Amino acid sequence: MKRRVAVTGVGMITPVGLNTDESWKALINGKSGIGPITQFEDKSMPTQIAGEIHGFDSLAYIDAKEIKKMDRFIHFAIAASQMAMNESGLTITPENAEHVGILVSSGMGGLPAIEKYHKIYLSSGYRKISPFFIPMLIVNMASGQLSIRYGAKGPNSCIVTACATGTHSIGDAFKIIQRGDALAMIAGGTESCICPLGVGGFNAMKALSTRNSEPQRASRPFDAERDGFVMGEGAGVVILEDMEYALKRGAKICAEVVGYGMTGDAYHMTSPSPNGEGAARCMKMAIKDAGIAPTEMGYINAHGTSTKFNDENETAAIKTVFGDHAYKIPVSSTKSMTGHLLGAAGGVEAVISILALRDGVLPPTINLENPDPECDLDYVPNKARQSQVDVVMSNSFGFGGTNACLIFKRFRQ
């Protein structure tokens, strides 16, 4: 019999809030976190906007002497993890340390550090490169630093699957607990690469919105006037525990993880397979894993990037999986407010899905003013909706044709 897996804590830092509560309140109020880029200046780039996090104080979470050893994506991971740990009340002790693991990942890692020290190398030579440069940039150091911070000696890993990174990380952590290799896992995604190479690279692909004069209206999933996605940064982390272990220690159960799917398109580097075929198989896999009927689905947090290829293909995939019931399922893209957090997106959107379940509030898709005729589902346009649902799904699809889906359920003993 499969072990049941509980969510006992969540944490997120996003362009709309410096903590979980602030972010959640902003999201259900339809607030956009998109604005002019302040982390660098290059007026030659077509895109001048992003979902930046303003006012974040690393010192609130990390000792001053340690900050310089980590790039910003690790700072975010530590902050979101601390929020989640505080909520969960999980304590790691010598007795349980070997049974608590970490799986917090990033899609791009320390790209800003690479930029910075490459410039230093070119101008001053290798002797001026920080001895912390490599630990700053490698993606698995989010998990590594968290393991050291908390003394977690269980499974420790990192998954890099582009925009599906956070979802795969939570899904794999779920399976680690389910098969008995850990009692608890700190899992999620983190990202911070709003830098010249990051923004420049996506500009070169013509993937980003150039609605610079109206940044808060630039991310518009499922809208006919969308012109690309908007980059964001942040982190989303959950604490997963073996249900029996969590109940025994008296933990409050936020939700139960019940299903996980992962598939590959085997089609194209950056474009989804036609009609979202790979995404549809992924959702079906998660539903089968959850042991639920498709008609039980109450809400879907869509990948919803605000690009033509994603929005239309994800819509088609949802119709393939749910048939006529697809038109009865509220579907929203919170990327309309946060922008696309890349490797952190799945972590943040898992937290959002869990909070929607907890509070009975479905966050909106803002800026949906002129729906694409190919996108004809209920996207919770522009205003949050009160709705008590029992089952929610979070979708993430990444470059390379990698797909991940998570299903959460209201906890019942």
Catalytic positions are 163, 303, 340
Q: Tokens representing 364?
A: 């909106």
214: how many CB neighbours lie within 10 A of its CB? 12
Distance from C-alpha of 149 to C-alpha of 153, rounded to nearest angstrom: 11
Amino acid residing at 340: H
Distance from C-alpha of 10 to C-alpha of 408, rounded to nearest angstrom: 13
DSSP line for 165-217: HHHHHHHHHHHHHHTTS-SEEEEEEEE---SHHHHHHHHHTT-B---TT-GGG
Q: How big is the CA angle at 234 (ends 184 and 90), to the nearest 5 degrees?
A: 20
Strands 35-36 vs 49-50: parallel, antiparallel or unpaired: antiparallel
Q: What is the CA radius of gyration of the chain?
A: 20
The SS3 of residue 9 is strand
C-alpha 47, offset from chain centre: 22
CB burial of residue 381 (10 Å; 0-12, 13-18, 19+)? middle
